[in-house]
Amino acid sequence: DADVTQTPRNRITKTGKRIMLECSQTKGHDRMYWYRQDPGLGLRLIYYSFDVKDINKGEISDGYSVSRQAQAKFSLSLESAIPNQTALYFCATSDLRGIDTDTQYFGPGTRLTVL
Amino acid sequence: AQSVTQLDSHVSVSEGTPVLLRCNYSSSYSPSLFWYVQHPNKGLQLLLKYTSAATLVKGINGFEAEFKKSETSFHLTKPSAHMSDAAEYFCVVTPYNAGNMLTFGGGTRLMVKP
């Protein structure tokens, strides 16, 4: 969905490096999410945020941190990357109000490789 | 608690033949159910969504899914496959109107042969 953008789209890094993945959205949604995708496991939730002052851990938050800089921006950081964090990372948004609050809209993904 | 099982990790069909992607779910709440599609090197696109209205849900690109509560199933179908349907498909469940609690199935990769 062009309304949700992620940068970078691809990144190769080395073990121990700090990495930040960024997500921006123009949908005006309050809620934002970070997921990782691994083959055969679908997507798993890392962190989510319901507004700028609200950050919550998801299913697999260990080794990750997030920052919600503004309603439209939500960043994911790997403080010290390790090889098993090699995955495809997705940002998503959803609306807080209205009849479509349980539908999430996804960005194009960031492919991260940790050597 | 909720979970989703996609019964086939890979499905292969010939172009012009029907598509069936199977999904079973469990949920402690009245669920909303979704199918998303992921084309190579693309993000996830919403195909269709069930939220306790009509049990037969029509989506984009000719896909539809039927919610069967007694069988806890939400299978995705299409009468005639097209080459452009080749992609990975995810079945997703969440409690109704609880958008923060999506649970994804493991995905089904659909291959379409000419």
A-B C-beta contacts closer than 8 Å: 57
Give tens-digit pLDDT for A88-106: 999 999 987 777 777 889 9
Higher-confidence position of B41 and B23: B23
- Which residues 26-85 in chain A show a CB within 8 A of chain B? 31, 33, 40-45, 48, 50, 56
Distance (Å, whole) CA A90 – CA B92? 15
Closest to A74 measured CA to CA, from A44, A47, A112:
A47
Query: CB distance A42–B46 less than 8 Å?
Result: no
Q: Which residues of A touch B107 (CB under 8 A)?
A: 40, 42
Query: CB distance B99–A103 less than 8 Å?
Result: yes
Query: CB distance B102–A106 less than 8 Å?
Result: no
Higher-confidence position of B55 and A98: B55
Q: Are A109 and A22 in contact (CB under 8 A)?
A: no
Is the per-residue pLDDT at B71 higher than 70? yes
Q: Is A107 on the interface with B (CB under 8 A)?
A: yes
Which one of B48, B100, B103 makes the best mutation probe of the A interface by having the most chain A beta carbons within 10 Å? B100
Side chain identity, residue A34: W
Q: Of A12-16, B1-5, B31-35, where does mean pLDDT reach its minimum?
A: B1-5
Cα B114 to chain centroid distance, Å, stands at 23
Residue A36 bridge partners (DSSP) = A44, A89
Average pLDDT over residues B71-94: 95
pLDDT at B47: 95
Distance (Å, whole) CA B35 – CA B48? 6
